[in-house]
Amino acid sequence: MSSAAPRPADHPHRVHGMGTAWEAPTWPAITAGEAAAILAAFPDAGVFAGLRWHSPRPFSAAVLAQTDRGEFFLKRHHRRLRTPEALAEEHAFMAHLRGAGLGVPDVMTARDGSGAVTRGEWSYELHRRSEGDDLYRDRQSWTPFLSAAHAREAGAALARLHLAARGFAAAERGAHPLVASFTILPAPDPLLAAEAYIRARPALGAYLADRAWRAELARLFAALGSGLAERLEHQPLLWTHNDWHPSNLLWSRQGTVRTVFDFGLATQTCALHDLATAIERTAIPWLDIAEGRDSPADARCAQALLSGYRSVLPLSQGQLVTLLRLLPLVHIEFALSEVDYFAGILGDPAQAELAWQGYLIDHADWFLSAAGQAFLGALERGNLA
């Protein structure tokens, strides 16, 4: 199985990049003084004692902070990425899941009764440290499970989340940066829907203005999306996680999922969209492929994840066909959101190009390659035979 590069020395702080290399952080690391000041706004957090760990995730800054009442996970976002109102949407979904018995982080309440506080250009949220071992702490998002047993258990946990999510009636989220969405592929005219998506995000539109993006998307929709909208229009809408990979799960010593975390991409999609995202992000070695290594996709991992899911929530033959048809394009909208983030908030055209060409276009094209077709064929034979 592919793996990320070893984590460098703790100083200076480094985070995951878009490839396998560790990079200097875009967002500065949280300091001890900063953490102490923020924790003082949460009355149940206790007295700050020190920092235990800095997260390597690249789109925010986060730490484990020790107090006289235990360990807490403190996360800081730039307010252009997450306002307190946007965080409240995530927290409401998490509260619903917790009420249905799912293991999710316990969001702490600030003195003003909210789940987030602001200081200058930053928004902060605080969670009590969740139960379970962080076995994938230093592994990049697009790297596989350590075993087929983990993949199967993750599939079962995803199905349990989908069961717990039923009845959560919030509307889909707005055009926040780095949030999943489900507006293009279910549309009768996906290219027209893509135009609306881009029009709602001026920085994304400006970045794509000199590119033949309509022709590129039209080519992908024609090659991979024929009949998909008709299949998706009948799927029940559901709030979903939308970032299901092993480093967003905490594990028991018996190999079961104890806690699901990182709901930053959560919004209303459908169960099959979430399941396809989970397969796309864990069974295909995108980081190796991008760096020219001949690493095969792991159909065994995908089969195990599907088997675990179906042990909790059975899927009909029609649903399985829809899932396989959705898989090659499921990343489209979040890829556009990443382009918007890099082009707009960061003003980084090189990373925006990597998100557009390397992630959106090249990932879809991989499914048209011999390796991609073999992977889809293996899933079809394993599930539709």
Domain boundaries, the chain: 15-88+104-128, 148-384
Q: What is the pLDDT of residue 183?
A: 96
Q: Which fold has domain 148-384?
A: Aminoglycoside 3'-phosphotransferase; Chain: A, domain 2 (3.90.1200)
pLDDT, tens only, 15-68: 555 666 667 777 899 999 999 999 999 999 999 999 998 988 878 999 999 999
Q: What is the pLDDT of residue 278?
A: 97
DSSP E strands: which ranges in the chain?
15-16, 22-23, 48-54, 61-67, 70-78, 106-107, 117-119, 122-128, 237-240, 249-251, 257-260, 267-270
The residues facing 75 across adjacent strands are 62, 125
Q: What is the pLDDT of residue 385?
A: 60
pLDDT, tens only, 284-319: 999 888 888 888 899 999 999 999 999 999 999 999
Q: What is the pLDDT of residue 3?
A: 41
Q: What is the pLDDT of residue 175?
A: 87
Q: What is the pLDDT of residue 291?
A: 83
Phi first, then psi: give them for residue 298, nearest 5 degrees. Answer: -100, 85
| The CATH number of the domain covering residues in 15-88+104-128 | 3.30.200.20
Q: What is the pLDDT of residue 4?
A: 44
Structure tokens at 65: 């902070």
CA pair distance 78, 72, nearest whole angstrom: 20
List, for the chain, all residue ranges whose pLDDT scores fall below the cut of 50: 1-10
Q: What is the pLDDT of residue 280?
A: 96
The residues facing 312 across adjacent strands are none
**Residue partners of 110: CB distance under 8 A and separation at least 6:** 41, 42, 116, 117, 126
Q: What is the pLDDT of residue 102?
A: 97
